[in-house]
Amino acid sequence: MRTLFLLLLPALLSAGSNSLEHQGIKVTANGKTYSVKRIIPKECKSVPINNEMLWTGNYANPKVPEACKSTYVHTKGKLLPMHLDEELETYGELEVLATIKEMQTDKNLLLIDSRKESWFEYRTIPGAVNVPFHYFKERESYEFHFESALKSLGVTITKDEEYDFSHAKTLVLFCNGPWCSQSPSMIFALLEIGYPAEKIKWYRGGMQDWLGAGMTSTRD
């Protein structure tokens, strides 16, 4: 099923990208049901797209309604390349949406928030599970958490102390933004232990791009 999904993904995005971002995908997380989609308030639909309105100084033009603005700290971290590994795909918002939709019927897909628990609890993408990056980057110090996390990813450890990736799930990882090193740190740690690169996808934009695009989050 996963191979078929990858083959159909380009067609799905090109043919139905507009409906995919606006129709809403039903996701239940922590007992609450979300409609994951791009949220555009009514008053924002009449705002013209031009330089004066969108790029006045560092912010939107004062005439733009507050509901239409997204402003986030962009002076932290270090910008990361578009591709972390030649065999590893980098995702955008539509690919993440398509993954969330497919996750409803395919349990071998996981959307992973690789930030620490406090970040995850404050706000995340509906349907994401929290697997903190340091469990993998510092696995010798978090042996119990590391082994538990491996099981959730479909990886087992053999009697010979080797990793068995035969049932490894396909992962889409993200953190705070294109400047955040947490998901890349986890990705590199996964590659280091032998996790198949073709089963790892990276949402580079993370929470900053997700919220900046007006997408649904777990925090109202």
**Residue 121 in domain:** yes
70, 212 contact by CB (below 8 A): yes
**Residue 57 in domain:** no
CATH number of the domain that residue 11 is part of: 3.40.250.10
What is d(CA 111, CA 92) in angstroms, rounded to the nearest whole number?
13
What is d(CA 43, CA 52) in angstroms, rounded to the nearest whole number?
18
**Domain range enclosing 129:** 2-38+78-212
Contact partners, residue 176, CB within 8 Å, separation at least 6 = 76, 77, 115, 119, 182, 206, 207, 208
**Residue 104 in domain:** yes
Tens of each residue's pLDDT in the chain, 220 residues: 555 555 555 555 555 555 788 888 999 988 899 999 998 899 999 999 898 998 888 889 999 999 999 888 888 999 999 999 999 999 999 999 999 999 999 999 999 999 999 999 999 999 999 999 999 999 999 999 999 999 999 999 998 989 999 999 999 999 999 999 999 999 999 999 999 999 999 999 999 999 999 999 999 7
- What is the count of structural domains for the chain? 1
**Residue 48 in domain:** no
**Residue 154 in domain:** yes
Helix ranges, 65-170 (H): 93-103, 117-122, 134-137, 143-152
**Residue 128 in domain:** yes
**Residue 90 in domain:** yes
**Residue 71 in domain:** no
